[in-house]
Amino acid sequence: MTGTEAPALLSPVPDEDGAPFWEYAAQGELRVQACAECGELRFPPRPCCPHCQSFDSEWRRMSGRGRIWSYVLPHPPLLPAYAEQAPYNAVVVELSEAPHIRLVGNVVSAPDARLDSVDPAKLRIGAPVKVAFTRGPDGTHLPRWLLERP
Ligand SMILES: [Zn+2]
């Protein structure tokens, strides 16, 4: 590892249902699976609509804006690469278009910044955030969150 390189963090392991989420992320798009029959958005991705039981789905582009619904500040014991950046935040973001859709992630100061790049004192429940994507060491593009008013 070089001096400025971020330590290796865990990467997602996409499954068949979730693969499109990561493919759109690689294009810088936050998309959520929607039922092609009734239009209901659902997350995490899965084969069948829980509202109308349709197996037809599409991927709808989101604005990438949301609000912090909840957050925690993990402290050791943590995996080594995470312990090196602790304390950092882990947030649950509710999407503006669909508050019942909530994604787990991290609020950072810039797309490629360290997990501890935002002072935890700046985090508030309800704070507006917007998505940004960074390319991980394995090539996966990860959604992260930036404060709208840092
Ligand atoms: Zn449906």
Q: Which residue has the tokens 């973001």?
A: 93
Q: 37 CA distance to ligand 1 centroid (A)?
A: 5
Q: 129 CA distance to ligand 1 centroid (A)?
A: 28
Q: 20 CA distance to ligand 1 centroid (A)?
A: 18
Q: 85 CA distance to ligand 1 centroid (A)?
A: 41
Q: 46 CA distance to ligand 1 centroid (A)?
A: 12
Give the closest residue to 37 by CA, choosing from 23, 24, 54, 50: 54
The predicted pLDDT at position 15 comes to 94
Task: Name which of 29-43, 57-71, 93-107, 131-145 the model is least confident about.
Answer: 131-145
User: Is pLDDT larger for residue 150 or for residue 21?
Assistant: 21
Quote the pTM value: 0.90
Q: 131 CA distance to ligand 1 centroid (A)?
A: 26
- CA 127 vs. chain centroid, Å, equals 15
Q: 36 CA distance to ligand 1 centroid (A)?
A: 7
Q: Convert the pLDDT of each residue in 79-106 to its tens digit.
A: 998 999 999 999 999 999 999 999 999 9
Q: 103 CA distance to ligand 1 centroid (A)?
A: 21
Give residue 53's pLDDT band: very low, low, confident or very high (50, 70, 90): very high
The predicted pLDDT at position 12 comes to 87
Q: In a 10 Å sphere around its CB, with 0-12 CB exposed, 13-18 middle and 19+ buried, how is residue 85 labelled?
A: middle
Q: Convert the pLDDT of each residue in 2-52 to its tens digit.
A: 334 455 688 888 999 999 999 999 999 999 999 999 999 999 999 999 999
Q: What is the CA radius of gyration of the chain?
A: 16
